């Protein structure tokens, strides 16, 4: 297994890291969370010009034909700088669903708009009482003269407050399906909310809203499950990369702070007990890095072990993210809770990422099932 990045991946990483170093940080994040979108549309346009929105898409649609490792390096750099532009939701998650469930015609109609930055997307799957089962849905779709209409309510749709298009899970007479919905269409209403990390989304209600079936009719539940599983695995790689970037930033900030904070006439970094705690933080970061690389490579190689590897990564993101962020806050003391420092903002983002598309317990079960099936 080759753990080294290609020359193109190194250049991609350097491009994102340079942008983040020059333009991003806690001050930018604090300003954006108070805006209507909670991200910068001008920056999103620049992401398109730099080619970051084209990374995971095929060359036939104008993309770079990138894979999980390319997603990983972009996400890690974005995570370091608290970049909240909806790259994860629009490009990675919805992009993967379009590529793995959509017809060629649908891909041709939708993917170019993602690549050029003109279209925002959101995946509407969560419902009250559905837990993390993406196909346990009460939202239903009815065919009427060749047209589909959706009715129901989705909650906590991240990026749903501004998305132009939605991918919605719904039940039909033949089983669960995925649908494309114009977010501005009649019968679609949105109730915006602010997530714990300052990013925004919406609870969305559908009342006989016009919808288009994603892919071919009657594909069957197994086909839909495979498409969603594949998309979630890609999303977990991006989540893992972003979480790794955030944890590295927390570790670096903690080491720097303890080296300048004096107590009893010396920096507190000289105290052995604090050195041990920072060493444990470093260990958690490196464990996450190892599982992220393994999951990205397994997914890139279409290995049978990919789902288990991605589930293991998601469990580690929750565990390591919680440990590193809590230690960072404690070792910073009272100022670790202030809005002016990046520590608290990374803490909140890691908390959100630990729950997105399944928490620690859910993915531990998913890992057990995947490894048992492989055995």
Q: What spatial distance separates the first Cα and last Cα of the chain, rounded to whole Å?
A: 21
**pLDDT value of position 343:** 96
Q: Are 212 and 148 in contact (CB under 8 A)?
A: yes
Flag whether pLDDT at 220 surpasses 70. no
Q: Are 202 and 120 in contact (CB under 8 A)?
A: no
Encoded tokens for 317: 């993101």
The arithmetic mean of pLDDT across residues 298-325, rounded, is: 97
Question: Would you tell me the crossing angle of helices 306-332 and 360-374 to the nearest 10 degrees?
Answer: 150
Beta bridge mates, 152: 206
- What DSSP designation does 6 have? P
Flag whether pLDDT at 209 surpasses 90. yes
Q: Are 74 and 87 in contact (CB under 8 A)?
A: yes
- What DSSP designation does 159 have? T
**pLDDT value of position 117:** 97
In the chain, alpha helices (H): 7-23, 26-32, 41-50, 68-80, 95-101, 104-115, 221-260, 272-300, 306-332, 342-355, 360-374
pLDDT in tens, 82-134: 999 999 999 999 999 999 999 999 999 999 999 999 999 999 999 998 888 88
> How far apart (Å, rounded) are the C-alpha atoms in residues 162 and 38?
10
- Cβ neighbours for 10, distance < 8 A, ≥ 6 positions apart: none
- Give one DSSP letter per residue of 199-263, joined into a string: -EEEEEEEEEEEEEESSSTT--HHHHHHHHHHHHHHHHHHHHHHHHHHHHHHHHHHHHHHHH-EE
Q: 79-109 burial by CB neighbour count: b if 16+ within 10 A, else e?
A: bbbbbbbbbbbbbbbbbbbbbbbbeeebbee
Encoded tokens for 253: 């900030």
**pLDDT value of position 373:** 63
Dihedrals φ, ψ of 152, to 5°? 145, -175
pLDDT in tens, 141-197: 999 888 999 999 999 999 999 999 999 999 998 889 999 999 999 999 999 999 999
**pLDDT value of position 375:** 54
Nearest alpha carbon to residue 313 among 238, 220, 221: 238
Q: 144-160 burial by CB neighbour count: b if 16+ within 10 A, else e?
A: eeeebbbbbbbbbbbbb
- What DSSP designation does 335 have? G
**Domains annotated on the chain, with CATH:** 7-119 (1.10.540.10), 122-219 (2.40.110.10), 222-374 (1.20.140.10)
pLDDT band at 218 (very low <50, low <70, confident <90, very high): low
Flag whether pLDDT at 44 surpasses 90. yes
Beta bridge mates, 148: 143, 211
Mean pLDDT for the chain overall: 94
Q: Are 331 and 257 in contact (CB under 8 A)?
A: yes
Flag whether pLDDT at 226 surpasses 70. yes
What pTM was computed for the model? 0.96
Flag whether pLDDT at 219 surpasses 80. no
**pLDDT value of position 144:** 86
Instruction: For CA atoms 344, 39, 84, 201, give the dihedral sign.
Output: positive
Encoded tokens for 362: 């859910």
Q: What percent of the chain clears pLDDT 70, i.e. is strictly above it? A: 97
Q: Are 139 and 181 in contact (CB under 8 A)?
A: no
What is the distance of C-alpha 12 from the center of its chain?
19
Encoded tokens for 185: 């269409």
Instruction: For CA atoms 365, 367, 373, 375, give the dihedral sign.
Output: negative
- In the Cβ-directed half-sphere of 243, how many Cα atoms lie within 13 Å? 35
């Amino acid at each position: 297994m080759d753990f080294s990045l290609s020359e193109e991946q190194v250049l991609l990483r350097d491009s994102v890291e340079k942008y983040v170093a020059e333009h991003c940080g806690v001050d930018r994040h604090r300003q954006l969370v108070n805006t209507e979108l909670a991200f910068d549309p001008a920056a999103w346009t620049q992401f398109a010009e730099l080619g970051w929105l084209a990374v995971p898409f095929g060359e036939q649609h104008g993309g770079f034909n990138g894979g999980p490792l390319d997603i990983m390096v972009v996400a890690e750099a974005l995570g370091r700088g608290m970049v909240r532009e909806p790259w994860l939701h629009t490009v990675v998650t919805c992009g993967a669903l379009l590529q793995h469930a959509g017809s060629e015609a649908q891909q041709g109609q939708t993917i170019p708009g993602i690549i050029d930055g003109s279209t925002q997307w959101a995946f509407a799957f969560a419902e009250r009482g559905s837990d993390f089962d993406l196909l346990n849905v009460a939202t239903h779709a009815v065919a009427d003269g060749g047209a589909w209409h959706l009715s129901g309510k989705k909650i906590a749709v991240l990026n749903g407050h501004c998305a132009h298009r939605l991918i919605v899970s719904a039940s039909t007479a033949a089983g669960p399906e995925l649908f494309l919905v114009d977010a501005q269409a009649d019968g679609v209403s949105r109730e915006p909310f602010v997530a714990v990390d300052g990013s925004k989304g919406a609870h969305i209600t559908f009342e006989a809203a016009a919808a288009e079936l994603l892919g071919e009719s009657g594909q069957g539940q197994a086909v839909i499950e495979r498409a969603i599983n594949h998309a979630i695995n890609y999303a977990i790689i991006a989540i893992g990369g972003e979480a790794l970037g955030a944890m590295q930033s927390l570790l670096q900030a903690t080491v720097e702070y303890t080296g300048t904070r004096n107590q009893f006439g010396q920096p507190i970094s000289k105290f052995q007990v604090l050195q041990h705690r920072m060493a444990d933080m470093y260990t958690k970061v490196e464990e996450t890095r190892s599982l992220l690389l393994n999951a990205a490579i397994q997914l890139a190689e279409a290995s049978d072990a990919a789902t288990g590897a991605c589930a293991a990564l998601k469990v580690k993101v929750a565990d390591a993210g919680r440990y590193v962020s809590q230690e960072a806050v404690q070792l910073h003391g009272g100022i670790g809770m202030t809005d002016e420092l990046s520590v608290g903002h990374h803490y909140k983002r890691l908390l959100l990422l630990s729950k997105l598309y399944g928490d620690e317990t859910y993915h531990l079960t998913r890992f057990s099932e995947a490894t048992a099936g492989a055995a």
